Amino acid sequence: MNEMDAILEERERDLLRWRSRRGLVENDLYIEKFFATYGSQLTRRHATGLSALMDLADNDLMDLFLRRKEPEGALDTPEVREVLQMVRKPL
């Protein structure tokens, strides 16, 4: 198994969740749903994609979550696209 496909340990997942807290409550709602749905299944690949998204400003992140924009440039990676697909998936 590839190292990027390894499931995150609980501590790693908790740190990622803490780092993912945002100033815009709407983003927090998407992120909380993401962790509630996929938390126990998250891999290092997902952590890489989510970390890249967390480097964005709140409004840019919301535009991606709402499909107003798609990732571009250095942000356009398979990891980021996979996480966005998971976040955008309706319940």
Residue 65 is encoded by which pair of tokens? 């979550």
Q: Which residues pair with 43 in a beta bridge?
A: 7
pLDDT band at 48 (very low <50, low <70, confident <90, very high): very high
Grouping H, G, I as helix, E, B as strand and the rest as coil, residue 17 is helix
Query: Yes or no: is domain 3-88 CATH 3.40.50.1820?
Result: no
What global pTM score does this model have? 0.94
CB of 49 within 8 A of CB of 83?
yes
Interval 8-43: pLDDT, tens: 999 999 999 999 999 999 999 999 999 999 999 999
